Amino acid sequence: MAPEKLLLSKNEKRKYDSKCEIYSVGMLLREIAELKKPHSVLDKLELHDIVIGIRKRIQDKHYEPFSDDVPLDWQLTVSKAIDYEPRWRPNMSDICRDFYKLSENYSKSKPSLINISILPVNDAIKEHKLNNGDKQLAWNSFKFYSIINAEAKYWVGYYLFHHGKDIPELRSLNEEERIKIAIDIFKETADKGNPSAQLRYGMHLWKNESYIEALKYLEMSASAEDANAMYIVGKAYWKGGNGIEQDKEKGSKYLKHAALKDNAKAREMCIENNISYLQV
């Protein structure tokens, strides 16, 4: 059953639609590839506990990695079909087209010779940061690994937030919808400990005047040595206000650390307020 159906409360109703059907197809394709049913690790439990276990896994957006011998292009198609976000699941015609291409490739060459344009996450980040980097290649890679990798999931959010016009797949989303999905991803990956996500979600909360909650996420990011977060937190404590108690000692500490990490705004604020950052 699709996550959006399984996680409904007793009073909620949702029509079983084509996206639910796609999820079911995706899980079947996964079962065919792995030769075992999904969540089989729970089989030894009582039926009631199995249901609870599956619901918990889905609430946590759990994904089991594919076995090494499952072709990468098969993994990619199935991963898109079982995406927890219904809007990202492909149409049935797209799945059929992917498997038709897969069958052609396998009829012409050995599986090991098939060229799949998916980079490892770290290489995709490097590709993204290149001046003339292939953003589409980076996006494809982040999207593929986002199912099992929180860093890749963060970058999916980043692309939704900043590159909606650069990626054809994202142009169909209006800006408001795209930003909302990005913020949800930032929240999810921030809670999983991603410093960049903590910074961006904290900035979002701050912009929306949820200052105390914003400070919590920004301090998490600052603790992970993010210089931008250090500056924002330092400034917040130095000046106080917005429900934050002024604490110049704590503020100066964050500002010094940010300045030593070459944050220009932190250095400027240290100079303006006679805060020596040469020694911490």
Q: Residue 218 and residue 97: Cα distance in Å, rounded?
A: 44
pLDDT tens-digit series, residues 88-109: 898 988 888 888 887 776 655 5
Residues 167 and 87 in one domain: no
d(CA 120, CA 130): 16
* Cβ–Cβ under 8 Å, residues 189 and 154: yes
Whether 128 and 248 share a structural domain: yes
Same domain, 134 and 249: yes
For 63, counting Cβ atoms within 10 Å of its Cβ (0-12 exposed, 13-18 middle, 19+ buried), the class is middle
Whether 277 is in a domain gets the answer: no
Same domain assignment for residues 106 and 142 = no
Reported confidence tier of residue 182, pLDDT bands at 50, 70, 90: very high
Which pLDDT does position 279 carry in this prediction?
Answer: 61
**Token output for 53:** 């276990």
Average pLDDT over residues 259-276: 95
Is there a single domain that holds both residue 104 and residue 153? no
* Mean pLDDT, the chain, whole residue set: 87
233 plus 146 within the same structural domain: yes
Provide the domain count of the chain: 2
**Model pTM score:** 0.64
Is 80 exceeded by the pLDDT of residue 7? no
278 is a domain residue: no
Q: Please check whether residues 144 and 257 belong to one and the same domain.
A: yes
Which residues, 6 or more positions from 171, have their beta carbon under 8 angstroms from its beta carbon? 164, 165
In a domain, 16, yes or no: yes
CATH number of the domain enclosing 231: 1.25.40.10
Tokens standing for 17?
């639609």
Percent of the residues in the chain that have a pLDDT greater than 90, as a whole number: 48
| Residue pair 73/25 in contact by the 8 Å Cβ criterion | no
Three-state DSSP class for 244? strand
Same domain, residue pair 100 and 44: yes
Residue 69 shares a structural domain with residue 170: no
Q: Is residue 69 part of a domain?
A: yes
Question: What CATH number does residue 28 fall under?
Answer: 1.10.510.10
In a domain, 167, yes or no: yes
Q: In this structure, is residue 168 part of a structural domain?
A: yes
Q: Residue 34 pLDDT more than 80?
A: no
Q: How confident is the model at residue 148 (pLDDT cuts 50, 70, 90)?
A: confident
pLDDT tens for residues 40-75?
A: 767 677 777 777 777 788 777 777 777 777 777 888
Question: Is 266 in contact with 230 (CB distance < 8 Å)?
Answer: yes
pLDDT digits (tens, 9 = 90+) for 223-232: 999 999 999 9
- Are 197 and 146 part of one and the same domain? yes
From 113, 145, 160, give the residue that closes a domain: 113
Q: Which of 113, 134, 162 is the C-terminal boundary of a domain?
A: 113
Of 113, 131, 155, which marks where a domain is finished? 113
pLDDT of 111 > 50? The answer is no
Tell me if 279 is assigned to some domain: no
- Rg over alpha carbons for the chain, rounded to the nearest Å, is 23
- Mark whether 129 and 256 lie in a shared domain: yes
What is the C-alpha separation between 219 and 266, in angstroms, rounded?
16
Which residues form the domain of 155?
A: 121-272
Indicate if 11 and 131 belong to the same structural domain. no
pLDDT at 69: 72
pLDDT at 114: 42
Checking if the pLDDT of 12 tops 80, the result is: no
**Is residue 11 a part of any domain in this protein?**
yes
Q: Are 261 and 230 in contact (CB under 8 A)?
A: yes
